[in-house]
Amino acid sequence: MLTTEELTIIGLSLKVAAAAMAVALPVAFFTAYALANWRFPGRGLLQAVTTLPLVLPPVVTGYILLIWFGANGSAGAFLRDTIGLEFAFRWTGAALAAGVMAFPLLVRPMRLSLEAIDRGLEEAAETLGAGRLRILVTIVVPLAMPGILAGGILGFAKALGEFGATITFVSNIPGETRTLSLAIYSLLQSPSGDAAALRLISFSVVLALGSVLLSEWISARLPANGKARDE
Amino acid sequence: MTGIFARRAVAMLALLTGALLSPSTGSSETLKCGDRPLLVFAAASLTDVIEAAAAAFTAATECPVAISVAGSSVLARQIEAGAPATLFLSANSEWVTWLETNAAERISGPPRVLARNRLVVVGRADPAEIADLLSTRFAMADPAHVPAGMYAKTALEALGVWTDVASNAIFTENVRLALSLAERGDVSTAIVYATDARMEPGLNVLYRFDDANYPEIRYEAVLLTGAGETGGAFLDMLAGPEGQEILAKYGFLAPDGTP
Amino acid sequence: MSELAVDFRTRAGSFILEGAFETDRGITAIFGKSGSGKSTLLRTVAGLVRPERARIRLDGRFLDDTAAGIRIAPRHRRIGFVFQDDRLFPHLSVRGNILYGARRNETLTEPASRHVIDMLGLGALLDRRPGTLSGGERKRVAIARALLSSPDILLMDEPLSSLDHARRNRVMPYLERVRADTGIPLLYVSHEIDEVARLADTLVILSDGRIADYGETADLFSRLDLGPALGRHEASVLLDGQITGYDRHYDLLLVSVGAHTLFLASRGNNAEGARPGQALRLRVRARDVAISLARQPDISMRNQLPMTIDYIRQEGGAYAEIRGRIGKQFLRARVTRKTVDDLALTEGMEVWALIKTISFDQRLVQPRVPPVEGA
Integer angstrom CA distances of residue B97 from A171, A218, B51, B253, C176: 20, 54, 25, 22, 91
DSSP A137: I
- pLDDT per residue over C251-271, tens digit each? 888 888 888 888 888 755 444
CA distance C136 to A10: 56
Work out the mean pLDDT of chain C and round it to a whole number: 82
Q: Is A221 exposed, middle or buried (0-12, 13-18, 19+ CB in 10 A)?
A: exposed
Q: In this complex, is the C-beta atom of A74 within 8 Å of any C-beta atom belonging to chain B?
A: no
Give chain B positions within 8 Å (CB) of A80: none
Distances (CA, A) of A24 to A32, A100, A133, A152: 12, 8, 20, 9
**Residue ranges of domains in chain A, CATH in brackets:** 4-224 (1.10.3720.10)
How far is A4 from C240, CA to CA, in rounded Å? Answer: 91
Instruction: Report yes or no: C67 and C55 within 8 Å, Cβ to Cβ.
Output: yes
**Rounded mean pLDDT of C46-66?**
91
Q: State residue A175's pLDDT score.
A: 87
Contact indicator for C106, C127 with CB cutoff of 8 Å: no
The reply to whether residue B48 touches residue A191, judged by beta carbons under 8 angstroms, is yes
Please give the backbone phi and psi of residue B120, each rounded to the nearest 5 degrees, phi first: -135, 165
> How many whole angstroms separate alpha carbon C139 and alpha carbon C162?
9
Is the pLDDT at C107 greater than 60? The verdict is no
CB-facing half-sphere around the CA of C233: CA atoms within 13 A = 1
| pLDDT, average across residues C281-297 | 87
CA angle at A69 for the pair A66 and A75, rounded to the nearest 5°: 145
Q: Can you say how many angstroms the Cα of residue C230 is from the centroid of all Cα atoms in its chain?
A: 13
Q: Which stretches does DSSP call E strand in C130-231? A: 153-157, 186-190, 202-207, 210-216
> Given CB atoms, is A64 within the 8 Å cutoff of chain B?
no
Helix (H, G, I), strand (E, B) or coil at C234: helix
Contact (Cβ atoms closer than 8 angstroms) between residue B243 and residue B53: yes
- Domain ranges in chain C are 4-222, 236-364
| Terminal CA-CA length for chain B | 27
How far apart CA A140 and CA A225 sit, in angstroms, is: 10
Question: Residue B82 carries which DSSP code?
Answer: T
User: What pLDDT, on the 0 to 100 scale, is given for residue B233?
Assistant: 92
Is the predicted pLDDT of residue C374 greater than 90, yes or no?
A: no
For residue B190, the model assigns a pLDDT of: 94
CB distance B74–A168 less than 8 Å?
A: yes
Length of chain B: 259
Question: Which helix (H) or strand (E) covers residue C228, if one does?
Answer: helix C227-230
Least confident range from A65-74, B68-77, C46-55, C228-237: namely: C228-237
Residue type at position C19: G
User: Residue ranges of the alpha helices (H) in chain B?
Assistant: 3-21, 47-61, 72-80, 94-102, 130-133, 147-158, 162-165, 175-184, 194-197, 228-239, 241-249
Helices of type H across chain A: 4-37, 43-55, 58-69, 74-83, 91-115, 119-127, 132-135, 141-161, 164-170, 180-188, 194-221
pLDDT at residue B14 in the model: 45
CA distance A66 to chain B (A): 7
Question: Could you name the CATH architecture of B13-116+218-249?
Answer: 3-Layer(aba) Sandwich (3.40)
Binding residues of B for molybdate: 45, 72, 148, 175, 193
Q: Which residues in A lie closer than 8 A to residue C75 (C-beta atoms)?
A: 126-131
Which residues of B are less than 8 Å from A176 in CB distance? Answer: 66
What value does the mean pLDDT take over residues C196-224? 83
Distance in angstroms (rounded) separating the CA atoms of residues B54 and B86: 14
Average pLDDT of span A176-190: 87
Rounded-to-integer distance, Cα B38 and Cα B54, Å: 10
Most confident of A118-122, B25-29, C192-196, C208-212: A118-122
Residues 6 or more apart from A80 whose CB is under 8 A from it?
A86
As annotated, the binding site of B includes 45, 72, 148, 175, 193
> Chains with ≥3 Cβ pairs under 8 A against C?
A
State residue A48's pLDDT score.
92
pTM surpassing 0.80? Answer: no
Residues C209, C37 contacting (CB under 8 angstroms): yes
Given CATH 3.30.300.30, say whether it is the number of domain C236-364.
Answer: no
C324-342 pLDDT tens trace = 998 888 888 888 999 899 9
Chain A hits for B250, Cβ within 8 Å: none
Tell me, yes or no, if the two domains B13-116+218-249 and B119-208 fold the same way. Answer: yes
Chain B residue closest in CA terms to A69: B81
> d(Cα B204, Cα B197) in Å, to the nearest integer?
8
| Helical (H) or strand (E) element with B69 | strand B65-70
Chain C CB contacts of A125 below 8 Å: 89, 100
Percent of chain A with pLDDT over 90: 57
Which of these, A200, A155, A195, lies nearest to A11 by C-alpha position?
A200
Mean pLDDT of A134-150: 92
CA distances for C244 relative to B255, C142, C212, C263, angstroms? 123, 38, 37, 10
CB B179 within 8 A of CB B199: yes
Tell me the per-residue pLDDT of C290-300, one tens digit each, with 9 for 90 and over: 999 998 888 88
Closest residue in chain C to residue A227, using alpha carbons only: C90
pLDDT at C108 over 70: no
Q: Regarding beta strands B138-141 and B169-172, do their DSSP bridges make them parallel or antiparallel, or are they unpaired?
A: parallel
B119-208 to CATH, choices 1.10.3720.10, 3.40.50.720, 3.40.190.10, 3.40.50.300: 3.40.190.10
Q: Which residues, other chains included, contact B204 with Cβ-Cβ below 8 Å and sequence gap of 6+?
A: B122, B123, B124, B127
Query: Residues for chain A: how many in total?
Result: 231
> Of A139-148, A198-207, B55-64, C237-246, which range is least confident?
C237-246
What class, spelled out in words, does domain C4-222 have in CATH? alpha beta
Which pLDDT score is estimated for C109? 62
What local confidence, expressed as pLDDT, does residue C208 receive?
Answer: 82
- Cα-Cα end-to-end distance for chain A: 51
Give the Cα separation of B21 and B12 in Å (integer).
14
- pLDDT at site A166: 93
What is the length of chain C? 375
Give the strands of the sheet with B112-117, arranged side by side. Answer: B65-70, B38-43, B87-90, B217-223, B112-117
Chain A residue whose CA is closest to C88: A121
Q: Does C134 touch chain A (CB under 8 A)?
A: no
Q: What CA–CA distance (Å, rounded) separates B104 from B88?
A: 13
pLDDT recorded at residue C211: 87
pLDDT along chain B (259 residues), means of 10: 47 44 46 83 90 93 91 90 91 89 90 92 87 90 86 93 91 86 89 87 90 89 88 93 92 84
Burial class (CB in 10 A: 0-12, 13-18, 19+), C70: middle
Return d(Cα A42, Cα C132) in angstroms, integer: 42
Q: Which residue has the higher pLDDT, A112 or C37?
A: A112
The amino acid at residue A24 is A
Q: What angle do CA A205, A211, A213 make, to 5 degrees?
A: 100
Decide which of A140 and C216 is more confident.
A140
pLDDT per residue as tens digits for the range C171-183: 787 888 787 777 7
Q: Is C100 on the interface with A (CB under 8 A)?
A: yes
Closest CA to B105 of B74, B70, B81: B81
Q: Does C106 touch chain A (CB under 8 A)?
A: no
For chain B, what are the domain ranges? 13-116+218-249, 119-208
Sheet containing C61-65: order of strands: C70-71, C61-65, C53-58, C4-12, C15-23, C210-216, C202-207, C27-31, C186-190, C153-157, C79-82
Tell me the pLDDT band of A225, cut-offs 50, 70 and 90: very low
Mean pLDDT of C23-49: 87
- Chains with ≥3 Cβ pairs under 8 A against A? B, C
pLDDT in the model for residue C90: 93
